[in-house]
Chains A and B, each alone.
Chain A
Amino acid sequence: MIKLIDENGLRLDGRRFDELRPVKIEVGVIKNANGSAYIEHGKNKIVAAVYGPREVHPKHLLIPDRAIVRCRYHMSPFSTEERKPPQPTRREIEISLVLRRAMECVLFLEEYPRSIIDVYVEVLQSDGGSRCASITAISAALADSGISMKDLIVGCASGKADGQIILDLSDIEDKEGEGDMPVAYMPNLDKITLLQFDGIFSEEEFKKALDLAIMGNKKIYEVLRKALMEKYFKTEEK
């Protein structure tokens, strides 16, 4: 067993239980896309791009009174310790699904009938909490594309290591710890759009972990807001 928290309450990377890893967001990194964003969250390096709303192909997917969303979460073969074969795994297909649902919560899909919004997420380097970092990047890319949104979404996980509830798990804390709870959150509407957990949580720990994740999400929201302001504020000046 690896000790994840030392006697001073510090984690392997020197953080306290409620500290985030550094988060950096850049908006508008893929010129061809309608909207795009790049995020570094800990060692995660993820790029997200939005194409659309555009015409639906194949046609049978079309819904007459709203847009459909298609999402592909993919990890590059070099993004992990051991090479990940490029074909999508069950894990990637499931994450694509939960990410799609999370963004369906935030979009005004009825404003774009008969169209499709394609969202592509590429994990260039992975660390713990890549689906959370992905949703933050997606939300930045969607905002950048100008599609009508009810709010922004941010993602951050909490979990349990050495019996303690901690925020924003790194790779090793995710693997060696006792629980992981990715949460995506709409800060202004105060609603959860993505929630998964595994591990062993008492009811009290569950509530504590959820509160902590939401607190972390509120901090990431400030970083996201700033990144969006930076791009659009500069454009206005020109």
Chain B
Amino acid sequence: MSFKRSSIIENLRKTQMLDLLSKQKRLDGRALNEYRPITIRLNPIQKANGSAEVSIGDTKVIAGVKVETGEPFPDTPQQGLLIVNAEFLPLSSAMIEPGPPDEDSIEVSRVVDRGIRESQMLNLKELVIEPGKLVYCVFVDIDILNIDGNLFDAAFIAAVLSIATAKYDKKIVNEGKEEITKTPLPLRLIPVSVTSITIGDNILLDPTEEEDSVHDSRMTITFDEEGHLCAGQKGGSVGLSVEQLFKIVDLSKPKAEEIRALIKKVISNAYP
């Protein structure tokens, strides 16, 4: 998110950052392709079907999954519903004011939604109770608690973890009797998104808010477990060359594997 700042100060910051970048350095001393520490708290919310709090550096988000029943969309009668919604809480930054979701929070919602949907993380076909009439609806709500850049990846990891660890009340009719069992959601794989920005010719992974506010362009790419690209979104107000884009893909792909290994470790530690 780049908030409206005085563009004069913005330009000064950019010059300073470019100076450092010419020596391949960042303001916080990280390597260009290095993420800040990722910390994860699983299931902090007992009333949700699944939840996760994720911090990347000072960025902090919490996601909660609620599974309810409802009507399917008319064009997909044989599929359960997946609804992702992100909200920038007014307590997350001095720049955020209460109000209906603005374009930035809508973008986070939609980028996370596409990454999860298009990677086919969930087998939505298994969430049907009565085709065309009644299905399970997976609501993934993401609250942004503190903003310090790279909300896309923090929100994505939180969403993926809360879905992967969620258990819902599945109704099964057995010999005329209705039974309810706590069932995990029909998971197929763990997708991972990697966000980078370009400043001049440099590509920086996991930008902080300060870096993000002076980016030329931004790119978020979601990978499935086979290394396929499943979703992507360019941001920023400067054009990107094809070579730069391919370089971003090359840098992002191994990072996605690292993050996926971390996510899987967290899940298997909690549910051995």
Kindly identify, within residues 110 to 148 of chain B, every residue whose CB is under 8 Å from any CB belonging to chain A. Answer: 110, 114, 117-120
Kindly identify, within residues 232 to 266 of chain B, every residue whose CB is under 8 Å from any CB belonging to chain A. Answer: 232-242, 245-246, 249, 253
- How many chain A residues touch B (Cβ–Cβ < 8 Å)? 37
Chain A CB within 8 A of B7 CB = yes
Sorting the interface of chain B by its residue count into under 10, 10 to 19, 20 to 34 or 35 or more gives 35 or more
Chain A CB within 8 A of B63 CB = no
Chain B CB within 8 A of A203 CB = yes
B107 and A94 contact, CB distance less than 8 A: yes
Chain A CB within 8 A of B103 CB = yes
Q: In whole angstroms, what is the CA distance A188 to B237 when docked?
A: 17
B240 and A90 contact, CB distance less than 8 A: no
Instruction: Closest A residue to B227 by CB, please name it.
Output: A203
Q: Is the contact region of chain B dominated by helix, strand, or loop, or is it mixed?
A: mixed
What residues on A are CB-neighbors of B234 within 8 Å?
A: 98, 101, 192, 194-196
What residues on B are CB-neighbors of A66 within 8 Å?
A: 7
> A97-B103, A198-B114, A203-B249 known; A104 and B242 CB under 8 Å?
no
Max count, chain A CB within 10 A of own CB: residue among B110, B114, B120, B234: B234
> A65-B8, A200-B228 known; A105 and B245 CB under 8 Å?
no
Chain A CB within 8 A of B82 CB = no
Q: In whole angstroms, what is the CA distance A211 to B114 when docked?
A: 23
Chain B CB within 8 A of A12 CB = no
Contact among A90, A181, A191, A193 for B106, CB-based, below 8 A: A90
**Interface pairs A-B: 4 shortest CB-CB:** A191-B239, A104-B237, A195-B234, A198-B118
Tell me the B residues contacting A by CB distance below 8 Å: 4, 6-8, 101, 103-104, 106-107, 109-110, 114, 117-120, 219, 224, 227-242, 245-246, 249, 253
